[in-house]
Structure 1
């Protein structure tokens, strides 16, 4: 495994935040929007990841309405706390009506719920306590606002996180889904060390403004959905049937036409994967973390086998000419919206 230090992340004890370049993404672990989860297999997946050198885990309260954090807590309970990095989030509430309505959804039991983006100081303090309890820990390594909240001043949100840092309940502050302008605003009130955003071979919009900003100001970019929720694995074909609670069925990425186009692209780079004795997924992940500004990639796993395969993406190198080979074919790929 490869580890990267997050710039400007020295805490009160003069320790940096160092993350495994493959970080375990625990969205699917919570089941929500992924058609459910199998708790025991998820625990084994996290533990297998750790055994393979994946020391960082990213979760959130909204993933299964607390279930993902509970499963993470169960999986890490016997691991020395200073050997892992827990990344979680705040600001997506399903248990109230304050804030900005984000979406109508269903919980894992099929009950209708409304989810609000809400990041007031009082709400954040409560969320942090709830997360610490579910995770079974007394501090969070990286605490991230999940989505921008237009109903709460950025200053108030960051003041709450600053308070949690002073109390030792949080080590570092991060954001998710922030553009460069929002990062500038938030950085006036706290030392932001990272932005977690979607990034993949077929979703590269952050390269225009956010990547240059983060490079200039030494902010880490945590790339989520680097495999575009399975699209870039080469394992999906036209006609793929998703579960009834799996929202990928409604996304344009997974139309039959786009599945055909993506698979045609993947077939062209498979030769390089074969040369590396790697899977297409591993090649895609390795390419992702070699892109300018990308610090780590968050990758989920349903079971231990998948977890080990993800970790192995760091077992080989990509030379500049090999990256250029991939980019040449990638630049010819266009998806239909």
Structure 2
């Protein structure tokens, strides 16, 4: 495994980090807890020491699963990255969307990052995770109803108390990052980035590189689309958000699979899966410190971790990028 420091911090994380959104089941058509625990443990055994989670993932379930999976591992051997600022149990802040929990009950999700809410969320996360500190604490989405200064002051208080080591953000643009940096030292920004979703290359990535902020790339496999296992007509499980995601229209699935056919021979020559090639491509992009990779079982987790051993030459990167330049997603 490769380990990289987040921003200008001393926190070293695994370049392939376990993403545990799907482990929580919410918006993924459910989960199998035991399989998720096994997946995290298998990932750790392959050198993946970092795990990204959030309270909203399964309304606490993902964090509980992470806590169960890391029980018995020396705390300083694993890095917990979790989040705050999405409440399903409090109608306050910026309404985000309506959803259903894993039991099929209606819930309203709000983006809220007021100081008192953050303090409560942190305490709840620490309990679910079974730890007394969080390595990286990240605001999940910007909250337009709370001044960024207030939010970051709360995180600074938690750092002073030793409950949080470092501060990060998610889904922030460069202006929001600059505003937050007036109050606290940010080490990272977690944003969507994949071969078919490269919007951050315009401004956010250059800003982060110039200011020594790490980019944590989420959905690098575009929720499974870039594994080559999704074909036109695919039927998703009830409650799986991909059923209505624009990347998964029949037209886009056909286009992406045609692109994958061009790079599959390269993966085959290396004796790897196309998904492993995609993950390696992602963390080879300058400025991308981490690629989050989710897994529903141990085998998937092991395969994701092994992507770290893939080597892509400059000529091969150029070939992949030339194929991507021809890919136009609707």
Common topology (TM > 0.5)? yes
* 1:295 maps to 2:289: yes
Distance in 2 separating the partners of 1:196 and 1:259 = 25
Contact 2:276 2:310 in 1 (8 A): no
1:235 to 229, 235, 242: 229
The aligned counterpart of 2:4 is 4
Distance in 2 separating the partners of 1:282 and 1:237 = 19
Structure 2: 5+ residue stretches without partners: none
Contact 2:277 2:310 in 1 (8 A): no
TM-score normalised per structure 2: 0.99
Distance in 1 separating the partners of 2:175 and 2:316 = 34
Distance in 1 separating the partners of 2:246 and 2:317 = 27
Give a deviation string over 1:65-106, Cα, whole Å, max 9, x none.
000000000000110000000000000000111100000000
Report the 3-state secondary structure (helix = DSSP H, G, I; strand = E; otherwise coil) of the residue aligned with 1:230: helix
Distance in 2 separating the partners of 1:2 and 1:317 = 13
The aligned counterpart of 1:218 is 212
Q: CA deviation at 1:8?
A: 1.5
Distance in 1 separating the partners of 2:278 and 2:120 = 38
1:323 to 297, 317, 320: 317
Report the 3-state secondary structure (helix = DSSP H, G, I; strand = E; otherwise coil) of the residue aligned with 2:28: coil
The aligned counterpart of 2:99 is 105
1:188 to 182, 191, 213: 182
Task: Give 1:90-169 correspondences, 5 Å limit.
Answer: 90-169=84-163
* 1:88 maps to 2:49: no
Q: RMSD of the alignment, in Å? A: 0.5
Distance in 2 separating the partners of 1:153 and 1:135 = 28
The aligned counterpart of 1:13 is none
Report the 3-state secondary structure (helix = DSSP H, G, I; strand = E; otherwise coil) of the residue aligned with 1:190: coil
Structure 1: 5+ residue stretches without partners: 10-15
Q: CA deviation at 1:316?
A: 1.9
* 1:33 maps to 2:27: yes
Distance in 1 separating the partners of 2:188 and 2:178 = 12
Distance in 2 separating the partners of 1:178 and 1:213 = 12
1:50 to 44, 49, 52: 44
Distance in 1 separating the partners of 2:106 and 2:246 = 24
Give a deviation string over 1:263-285, Cα, whole Å, max 9, x none.
11001001110111110000000
Distance in 1 separating the partners of 2:151 and 2:189 = 15
